[in-house]
């Protein structure tokens, strides 16, 4: 596989109608789940995606058990209904007991998913092996995606995105400040239900390709990555849709090319790798940049402390030309380690002079700077 012409395989892939279908379908599901995932993430409801997707499994199995259908439309309708039922259970548990959201979500997730697995096992024991294919909903399978599936995906996807666009400002308002939205007269509860319906819809779209177990990652990962690269909500949603689409398409195509590579894990691996990279290096929020900025600031503060130390020494002795040893400076500095390095850097900047080896004084420039720093600190305190 490797070596002998990946380029040819790739060129074949791009011209293959099957792969074009698979790629398009997976890109759409990635885009929709990425966009709606932003709202779940900003509302701190990432776990909801997990609960909904796991809760969908018994819906799929029950629809097959009762009707014998294996069409996407039938099975996914069952999935959506079961996911929605799971959400209603969560709300009922939170309302009537003292359990909190997380506990209720965990409970519903486990009970529904367990029931779904039981149904799948039961179906497997039946003769005729008619359930063949249902278990692809666990980890997803892109390769068998048909044109009709993509048409269905596109239609539902367009509807979901259109509703977000239509109620954009209302959704943003209830996400940012729910109570305020309520005081100006918005039907906040109904808008929240609509948003949850959309989320269930987006998750359902992905079940066929990504599978119930990992679908929640497609809700969280593109949104978390996008948050790193922008500080504006509409750009965040756009970027999350883009990241989701890229992860969906590339993962699905890769898994169709490599035998026995499951689709769901491949897509999710790509999406989460990008999310991780974004957390580390993304925009001003990137952890690496934050760490570097903190280091630069620390170094600057330590150098200022050395300048102020020398300034205080000069004042205490009443003699600006008298040199001071590193030991004396170290005693006055809150950062004792590394004083020598700081003195050398300050010398390069022309702030201090070394009168004789190991003996330091402030230059004219350094004295002005130190005076300025002392005055500034006096003002703020």
Partner 1 sequence: MNSSLQQQSMLDDKPAVEVSDLTVAYHSRPVLWDVDLTVPRGVLMAIVGPNGAGKTTLLKSILGLVPVAAGQVLIFGKPLAQQRHLVSYVPQRGSVDWDFPTTALDVVIMGLYRQLGWIRRPGSRERRKAMEALEQVGMSSFARRQISQLSGGQQQRVFLARALVQNAQLFFMDEPFQGVDATTERAIIEILRQLRSEGKTVVVVHHDLQTVPEYFDWVTLINVRRIACGPVCQVFNEKNLRAAYGGRVAFIVEQQTEGC
Choose, by CB under 8 A, the member of 160, 173, 210, 249 that binds partner 1.
173
Residue 199 has φ and ψ, to the nearest 5°, of: -65, -45
Residues 6+ apart with CB under 8 A from 297: none
Residue 175 within binding range of partner 1, rule CB under 8 A: yes
CA gap 245, 154 in Å, rounded: 13
Helices (H), 144-232: 147-166, 168-176, 178-183, 188-210, 215-229
Least distance (Å) between residue 180 CB and partner 1:
6
Q: Are residues 33 and 202 in contact, defined by beta-carbon separation less than 8 angstroms?
A: yes
Which of residues 223 and 343 has its CB atom nearest to partner 1 in the complex? 223
CA gap 134, 119 in Å, rounded: 11
Which of residues 183 and 260 has its CB atom nearest to partner 1 in the complex? 183
Name residue 353's beta-bridge partners: 361
Compute how many residues bind partner 1; rule: CB under 8 A.
26
Picking from 81, 111, 87, the residue whose alpha carbon sits closest to that of residue 101 is 87
Choose, by CB under 8 A, the member of 71, 103, 230, 359 that binds partner 1.
230
Residue 186 within binding range of partner 1, rule CB under 8 A: yes
Residue 180 within binding range of partner 1, rule CB under 8 A: yes
Picking from 216, 227, 166, 190, the residue whose alpha carbon sits closest to that of residue 45 is 216
Give the range of 196-204, 233-241, 317-325, 331-339 binding partner 1 by CB under 8 A: 233-241
Residue 100 within binding range of partner 1, rule CB under 8 A: no
Residue 170 within binding range of partner 1, rule CB under 8 A: yes
Residue 186 has φ and ψ, to the nearest 5°, of: -80, 145
CA gap 310, 361 in Å, rounded: 7
Q: Tokens 């892939």, residue? A: 13
Choose, by CB under 8 A, the member of 13, 85, 107, 172 that binds partner 1.
172
Least distance (Å) between residue 298 CB and partner 1:
21
Which of residues 179 and 375 has its CB atom nearest to partner 1 in the complex? 179
Which of residues 356 and 380 has its CB atom nearest to partner 1 in the complex? 380
Residue 167 within binding range of partner 1, rule CB under 8 A: yes
Choose, by CB under 8 A, the member of 3, 17, 68, 185 that binds partner 1.
185
CA gap 134, 59 in Å, rounded: 11
Least distance (Å) between residue 293 CB and partner 1:
14
Choose, by CB under 8 A, the member of 6, 122, 176, 291 that binds partner 1.
176
Sign of the alpha-carbon dihedral angle for 251, 256, 260, 262: positive
CA gap 313, 175 in Å, rounded: 56
40: tokens are: 């779940």
Residue 95 within binding range of partner 1, rule CB under 8 A: no
Residue 233 within binding range of partner 1, rule CB under 8 A: yes
Residue 111 within binding range of partner 1, rule CB under 8 A: no
Residue 232 within binding range of partner 1, rule CB under 8 A: yes
Least distance (Å) between residue 241 CB and partner 1:
15
Q: Which of residues 32-61 bind partner 1 (CB under 8 A)?
A: 42, 44
Angle at 107 between CA 104 and CA 108, to 5 degrees: 85
List contacts with partner 1 (CB under 8 A).
Answer: 42, 44, 166-170, 172-173, 175-177, 179-180, 182-186, 227, 230-233, 235-236
């Amino acid at each position: 596989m490797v070596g002998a012409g990946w380029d040819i395989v790739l060129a074949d892939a791009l011209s293959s109608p099957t792969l074009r279908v698979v790629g398009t379908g997976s890109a759409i599901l990635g885009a929709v789940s990425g966009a709606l995932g932003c709202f779940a993430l900003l509302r701190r409801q990432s776990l909801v995606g997990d609960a909904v997707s796991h809760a969908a499994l018994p819906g799929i199995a029950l629809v097959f058990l009762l009707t014998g259908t294996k069409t996407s439309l039938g099975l996914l309708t069952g999935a959506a209904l079961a996911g929605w039922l799971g959400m209603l259970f969560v709300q009922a548990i939170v309302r009537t007991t003292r359990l909190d959201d997380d506990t209720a979500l965990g409970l519903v997730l486990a009970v529904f998913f367990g029931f779904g697995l039981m149904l799948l096992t039961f179906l497997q024991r039946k003769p005729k092996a008619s359930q063949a294919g249902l278990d692809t909903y666990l980890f997803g399978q892109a390769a068998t995606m048909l044109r009709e599936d993509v048409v269905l995906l596109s239609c539902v996807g367009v509807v979901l995105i259109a509703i977000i666009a239509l109620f954009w400002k209302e959704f943003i308002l209830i996400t940012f400040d729910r109570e305020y939205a309520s005081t100006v007269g918005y039907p906040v509860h109904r808008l929240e239900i609509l948003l949850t319906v959309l989320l269930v819809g987006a998750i359902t779209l992905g079940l066929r390709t990504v599978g119930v177990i990992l679908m929640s990652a497609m809700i969280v990962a593109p949104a978390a990555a996008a948050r790193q690269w922008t500080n504006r909500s509409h750009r965040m949603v756009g970027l999350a849709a883009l990241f989701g689409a890229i992860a969906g398409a590339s993962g699905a195509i890769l898994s169709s090319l490599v035998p026995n590579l499951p689709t769901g894990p491949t897509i999710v691996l790509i999406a989460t790798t990008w999310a991780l990279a974004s957390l580390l290096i993304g925009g001003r929020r990137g952890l690496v940049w934050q760490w570097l900025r903190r280091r630069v600031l620390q170094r600057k503060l330590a150098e200022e402390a050395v300048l102020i130390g020398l300034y205080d020494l000069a004042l205490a002795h009443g003699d600006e030309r008298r040199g001071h040893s590193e030991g004396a400076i170290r005693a006055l500095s809150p950062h004792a380690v590394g004083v020598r390095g700081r003195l050398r850097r300050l010398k390069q900047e022309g702030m201090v002079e070394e009168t004789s080896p190991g003996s330091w004084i402030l230059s004219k420039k350094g004295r002005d700077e130190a005076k300025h720093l002392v005055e500034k600190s006096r003002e703020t305190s």
